[in-house]
Amino acid sequence: MDVASDSGPPSGGAAHVRLNLLLVSRSANWARAVRSAAKEIGGSGISTCGARDALTRLAGISPHYSHLLVDKKDADGLLKELADLANEIADPSTDMLMLGMAESGWPHIPTIKAANTSAVREALMTTPPRNRSEMTFGAIELRAALDGAMIETRYQPIIRMSDRRPIGLEALARLNHPVAGTMLPDQFLPQIEKAGLAAQMTELVSTRVLADLTSPALNRTGLRMSVNFPLDVMLMPAALDRMEEQRAATGIPARRIIIELTESRPVEDLVTLRRSLDHLRDLGYGVAIDDVGPAVPRLAPLLELPFTSLKLDKDQVRQVIDSSEVRDFLAQTIIDATELLDGDVVVVTQKIVSKAEGQMVPIDPDDPEAKRALVEQESVRVLRRRGELIISETRHGFICANAGVDLSNVPDGQAALLPVDADRSARRLMERIGALTGASVAIVISDTFGRPWRRGVVDVAIGCAGVAAVVDLRGTPDALGRELVATEMCIADEIASAAELVMGKAAGVPVAVIRGVEPSWLREASVHDEIIRPPEEDLFR
């Protein structure tokens, strides 16, 4: 429940403070006390919800809450998680207040003992949002933090968006200050780097990461681990050798470690950085650049370095829906990070094309009848049925299972339909990529089909542009000089199948680049016109 309170000038001469409160309590007494205090302060908004909903709100993009007020009895066992998220909201931080307690157990979290208006008002007025980034530490205090237990290592899951499954973890450092509470990296790491302690900090975190990766709980998952290396540390051969020495001692394969470059200052020595990246890649590590955004100095030459992946700044991702400038930046950045040459064939899976073109429809995944109705809607002819399986012909002319309706690798409650015209989609992609990169590339849009009388599925082309769908070899000689009379090679299908070997079914890789195709194959083409067999040639119709 959300309650907005903006009652005008506050009574009693209290200073007007704009607050946005998030209340986690089922108590009517606390609700009344908070509402009354907010009214007296004036200009305050109040949202009341359960603990789990509060986690979602705090982790979301907006709105920003100035204070989180939590009744421990109604925290549903999520008290620590609420405290962590409240603390990790971008500055100004969300201050947390515990209700009905003498002490919170955290030095930086105050309490409100009684559910009365004056106590709540006083607590809100005396705990304004704090800016922890302004805190400074001396060298002795920083060394003590690294030597003691103040530095905590946490793990943030990396989730594949297509199916929301974890594919990796990122190690995050936090400083648990006795007064300020848990501090984020940008609130203390610049001071550690300035004090010349970045290498010590990196080794501390790396040691813990490798130790945790050898534990049965993490080791059996096979998840990859990302570890942040500041620029100064990335440029130190001794620091990289120390990391490799630690890793080799644990037996963790280098391929499970991704070293992320974090920049607190612009990169000036690109030659040395390239040497470090080449060295790490030769050892088998992944290397990534963190927080890519328009503000990164000298971004273009950075993207030419041999990084295996890049991480986009979260603020850019948040604005991608509403900002055409951000969309153009992200598209150009991804293109810049991908070396495309004239003659390359870019293979794109049907699923992301369907998502981009709005070919997603709501469906109840637990209702077989709903899926059957959708399949029949997308079919022009049903050939066979067996249980829930339907083999049908789509309006595109494809003979496939369930008319191409797909519930895999999409959010729950949605189904992906085939693109309306995949050849047209391929032409648009080819033109757009050409405009962005200047490279003359071809496009194949792939999907997974079964084959009659054979087990197993393969990826085939459902749309193409710039590369032959079929190459007619009739009239040409075979290896012994005999004339071929019936051979037509479905080049587009072969390219799609080759790309699937590197994209996989569950790796979340929707694009692959095929390089080195026969130049004579690069021409205007169409799956619909060249591959779909007309009825008069169909022996089984």
- The DSSP result for 507-538, as a single string, is S---EEEE----GGG-S---HHHHTSPPGGG-
Q: What pLDDT does 257 receive?
A: 95
Q: What pLDDT does 525 receive?
A: 94
pLDDT digits (tens, 9 = 90+) for 250-262: 999 999 999 999 8
Nearest to residue 519, comparing CAs of 394, 344, 360, 377?
344
Instruction: Sort residue 408 into left (φ over 0), alpha (ψ -120 to 50) or beta.
Output: beta
pLDDT of 14 higher than 50:
no
Q: What pLDDT does 266 receive?
A: 83
**Helix, strand counts (H, E) of the chain:** 19, 24
Ordered structural domains, the chain, with CATH? 2-130 (3.40.50), 133-336 (3.20.20.450), 345-359+419-537 (3.30.1330.100)
* Mean residue pLDDT across the chain: 85
Distance, CA of 447 to CA of 430 (rounded, Å) = 18
Q: What is the dihedral of CA 266, 272, 276, 281, to 10 degrees?
A: 100
CB 20 within 8 A of CB 64: yes
Q: What pLDDT does 513 receive?
A: 93
SS3 63: coil
Mean pLDDT on 356-361 = 90
* Angle at 114 (CA atoms; ends 108, 120), nearest 5 degrees: 65
Tell me the residue length of the chain: 541
CB 224 within 8 A of CB 214: no
User: Does residue 107 have a cis peptide bond before it, meaning omega lies within 30 degrees of 0?
Assistant: no
pLDDT of 472 higher than 50:
yes
Q: What pLDDT does 20 receive?
A: 86
Return all residues near 525 (Cβ < 8 A) that are at least 6 apart.
464, 465, 466, 467, 468, 469, 492
CB 74 within 8 A of CB 115: no
Provide long-range contacts, Cβ within 8 A and 24+ apart, for 368-372. Answer: 371/402, 371/405, 371/407, 371/415
- What are phi and psi for residue 171, nearest 5 degrees? -80, 130
Return all residues near 516 (Cβ < 8 A) that are at least 6 apart.
343
Q: What pLDDT does 129 receive?
A: 47
SS3 32: helix
SS3 248: helix
Q: What pLDDT does 83 receive?
A: 83
C-alpha radius of gyration, the chain, whole number: 29
CB 115 within 8 A of CB 27: yes
CA atoms within 13 A on the CB side of 254: 15
Distance, CA of 288 to CA of 309 (rounded, Å) = 5
pLDDT of 473 higher than 90:
no
Nearest to residue 109, comparing CAs of 157, 179, 173?
179
Mean pLDDT on 371-387 = 91
pLDDT higher at 347 or 313: 347
Q: What pLDDT does 252 receive?
A: 93
Hey, which of 74-78, 100-104, 300-304, 342-346 has the most confident mean pLDDT? 342-346
Provide long-range contacts, Cβ within 8 A and 24+ apart, for 214-217. Answer: 214/250, 214/251, 214/252
127: its two tokens = 């705990």
pLDDT digits (tens, 9 = 90+) for 202-239: 999 999 999 999 999 888 888 999 999 999 999 999 99
Q: What pLDDT does 218 receive?
A: 87
Scanning 61-215, the segments in alpha helix (DSSP H) are 79-87, 117-126, 139-147, 185-194, 198-213
Of all residues in the chain, the percent with pLDDT exceeding 70 is 91
* Angle at 218 (CA atoms; ends 144, 89), nearest 5 degrees: 55
CB 38 within 8 A of CB 44: yes
CB 99 within 8 A of CB 70: yes
CB 82 within 8 A of CB 55: yes
pLDDT of 325 higher than 90:
no
CB 95 within 8 A of CB 130: yes
Side chain identity at 108, as an amino acid letter? H
Helix, strand, coil distribution of the chain in percent, nearest 5 = 40, 25, 35
SS3 106: coil
Provide long-range contacts, Cβ within 8 A and 24+ apart, for 179-183. Answer: 179/107, 179/108, 180/108, 180/130, 180/132, 180/135, 181/87, 181/106, 181/107, 181/108, 181/109, 181/132, 182/84, 182/87, 182/88, 182/152, 183/132, 183/135
pLDDT of 134 higher than 70:
no
pLDDT of 127 higher than 60:
no
CB 185 within 8 A of CB 173: yes
Q: What pLDDT does 40 receive?
A: 84
pLDDT of 131 higher than 70:
no
Hey, which of 71-80, 189-198, 516-525 has the most confident mean pLDDT? 516-525
Position 11 confidence tier, pLDDT thresholds 50, 70, 90 = very low
Mean pLDDT on 312-336 = 75
Of all residues in the chain, the percent with pLDDT exceeding 90 is 45
pLDDT of 15 higher than 50:
no
CB 202 within 8 A of CB 257: no
pLDDT digits (tens, 9 = 90+) for 36-49: 988 888 756 889 99
